[in-house]
Structure 1
Amino acid sequence: MNVAEVLQQVESLEPGMQKAYLDSIRSTISAATLAEVERLLSQNDEDGLVALLSLGAMALLAELVRSAYIGGARFEFAAIFIPAADRPIVGRKEFDVALQPAANWIQQQTQSLRSTASAEVREAIRAVMGSRRVIVGAKEIVRTDRQAALDLVGRVSSQTGQRVGGVVGLPGNMAQYVVNARSQLLSGDPVLLKQYLGRSKRDRRYDKIVQRAIDAAKPVAQADVEKIAGRYSERLLKYHAEVIAQTNAHESFSAGRERAWEQLVEQGIDRNRVEKEWRTRRDEKVRKSHAELNGQRVILGQAFSGGGALLKFPGDMSLGAGYDMTANCRCICIYQLKR
């Protein structure tokens, strides 16, 4: 087993998780009426908006996380060689998802998915609610409740008939990026308009429209603003969904692999005989903090230490490691049962 083989398994899980997350957003937006969103905005009812626009149980994504966890454990079990002397201790080499530690991990991960999604919806709502009257440069920009409602849930695409370009499903910081981009486009201030052109996730096909506004020192036309900001939001959402899928696939599959070894310890294998080593892809994409971890070895149950964080395995967030250490990670653990 090597890094590439494990990552191939992880990467095969990502498209399904990405689609599941995006489907949850579409389902939520489709079920909400624009009139109700507008009414709740007019009443400044943040809790009501959170309840209306909550992404719900995210049942399919939660089930895919569970499957990835079980898949990681079974993948690891298939690769483990048990010496003859240890076979009477281990007995039947089969992963048991019904054991309490496995069931607890799945439950905690599902709860974390839902609570994080709920918090992000609230942050996105606050970003839009706060954008209805703002001062940008020397200009006051006012958004009506109807415009703010559309900013939240998106506008109906003439091509698909679905709402697109809203901020529901984005984390708070990305929702604020969209709010700020819209304000820059509406400002008519060449300095602020140029700042929009510095946004990496913008759709460059609209840059000429923005450049003409810069040259004329005028705001971008309202219809163009909604098109440009909506497209920017869609690109951010696609990126966010990719990160969610990659992060959850990696963490779940890796947690399952770790759990496989923990089960062997519970069956009688000496924990001190199980060693794990951090491995990177050893290429130019490896972040510095992970390059420093490459080759580090610890005993099963112990954490790797690097970048100011503790991780039981690459992608692990259970000990407080943030996205800066886990997102887009391509590292793995290699486990070894020492004789």
Structure 2
Amino acid sequence: MASNGSIEQLVEVWAPKLSRAFLEAVYASRDRVQIELLVKMLERGDVDGALRAVGLDPVAFRALDAGIAQAFEAGGKLTTGQIPATRDPDGFLLKVQFDTRNLEAERWLREFGADLVAEIERDTREMVRQRIVEGIEKGENPRTVALDLTGRINPATGRREGGLIGLTSSQVKWVASYEARLRSGDPAQMREALAMGLRDKRYDRTVEKAIREGKPIPADKIDKMVTAYLNSALKYRAEAIGRTEALSALHESQMQGWRQAIAKGQVRVEQLTKVWRSAMDERVRHTHRRLNGQQVAFEEAFVSPSGALLRYPHDPMAPSSETVMCRCHMDVKMDFLKGVK
């Protein structure tokens, strides 16, 4: 349980906000697709024209970028608010306030946000291109390919559901694998589909019945199951982005809050020690389980058993294998007497 006024508590606030910002950007991107023009380009076999009709635009993710900046500011204010005030030799009070206009803070936010949005746009564009090329090469119905990308409108919600836009190429492969297993009619493969984590478990009885009776699953039922899987995959990616980017922003602002206090003379860097804190449950990476409690000097990196160097949990410079869906956090301890003669 997160304590009051902690980075953990801020994560629980900002991770869902960033997830929603990502999802809203995806939904808006799907709605902007020029479907009739996309169908026309697909009929012509014009891959570049089809991509233009999809109209991917990094500006769509501006709200995600803005949310990261707000989380960053919240983390910095929390950090500086918890640093004890001190007095200089002349008796003047030293109490830093977090400055998001600090050159280092501005540079980090600008570069981090730009890199994240560029990565999302690049992943999405590559996935869309692959689906377009596949559809053209297989001679698929152009409208089917277009709607696979955007999703079909749910009459109940008025929102497109089950689209590929918003997923990575790897996640699209998960969906294809799930669908192929359901359509195979092979009991062994259908059992494998029942073990896939992003499936909608409400359909498990349908699959179990098909296996038990030795009959194929009705095609219309499979379509619904695949749509549900697509929705789950998009939700999973949104949650991964929300938590990963929230923790990256919050831990970076934590570091910068302390650095601003150091620059002001309120704190000496040699007084500070960073401590890795793991959730310590069965879901924790084995590398992070071993990192739990590790202490390093403020400007030193934690060393993972994998060999990766992490300035803090969710360090964007670390390999994704060490950061995605991580639930660790970092404490900074201050020894008031260290260095005092």
Letter paired with 2:143? R
Give 1:103-182 correspondences, 5 Å limit.
103-129=106-132, 132=135, 143-182=140-179
Q: Shift of the alpha carbon at 1:89?
A: 8.7
CA shift in 2, pair 1:142/1:52, >3 Å? closer
Give the aligned partner of residue 58 of structure 2: 56
Letter paired with 2:260? Q
Question: Tell me, which stretches of 5 or more residues in structure 2 are unaligned?
Answer: none
Instruction: Give the stretch that moved more between structures: 35-44 or 67-76.
Output: 35-44
Q: Pick one of 328, 331, 334 that aligns with 1:333.
A: 331
Q: Do structure 1's residue 315 and structure 2's residue 314 form an aligned pair?
A: yes
Is 2:88–2:94's contact at 8 Å kept on the other side of the alignment?
Answer: no
Is 2:7–2:329's contact at 8 Å kept on the other side of the alignment?
Answer: no
Question: Tell me, which stretches of 5 or more residues in structure 1 are unaligned?
Answer: 135-140
Residue deviations 1:72-109 (CA, integer Å, cap 9, x gap): 11101011114435797984411111121100110011
Distance 1:50 1:75 in 2: 44
Letter paired with 2:28? S
Q: Do structure 1's residue 257 and structure 2's residue 254 form an aligned pair?
A: yes
Instruction: Give the stretch that moved more between structures: 210-219 or 93-102.
Output: 210-219
CA shift in 2, pair 1:91/1:85, >3 Å? closer
Give the aligned partner of residue 194 of structure 1: 191
Distance 2:239 2:148 in 1: 22
Aligned residues: 331
Aligned partner of residue 323 in structure 2, secondary structure: helix
How large is the RMSD of aligned CA atoms in angstroms? 2.8
Letter paired with 2:272? V
Give the aligned partner of residue 79 of structure 2: 76
Aligned partner of residue 313 in structure 1, secondary structure: coil
Distance 1:217 1:85 in 2: 81
Distance 2:132 2:90 in 1: 62
Distance 2:136 2:177 in 1: 12
Distance 1:27 1:142 in 2: 28
Distance 1:60 1:189 in 2: 45
Letter paired with 2:39? E
Letter paired with 1:108? E
Distance 1:283 1:24 in 2: 33
Distance 1:82 1:186 in 2: 66
CA shift in 2, pair 1:146/1:186, >3 Å? farther
Q: Shift of the alpha carbon at 1:242?
A: 0.9
Work out the percentage of aligned pairs sharing the same amino acid: 26
CA shift in 2, pair 1:201/1:263, >3 Å? same
Distance 2:92 2:100 in 1: 20
Residue deviations 1:57-81 (CA, integer Å, cap 9, x gap): 2111111100111111110101111
Give the aligned partner of residue 273 of structure 1: 271
Instruction: Give the stretch that moved more between structures: 259-268 or 247-256.
Output: 259-268
Residue deviations 1:131-172 (CA, integer Å, cap 9, x gap): 5499xxxxxx97422222221111111211211001111122
Give 1:1-40 correspondences, 5 Å limit.
5-40=6-41
CA shift in 2, pair 1:225/1:49, >3 Å? farther
Instruction: Give the stretch that moved more between structures: 236-245 or 218-227.
Output: 218-227
CA shift in 2, pair 1:219/1:80, >3 Å? same
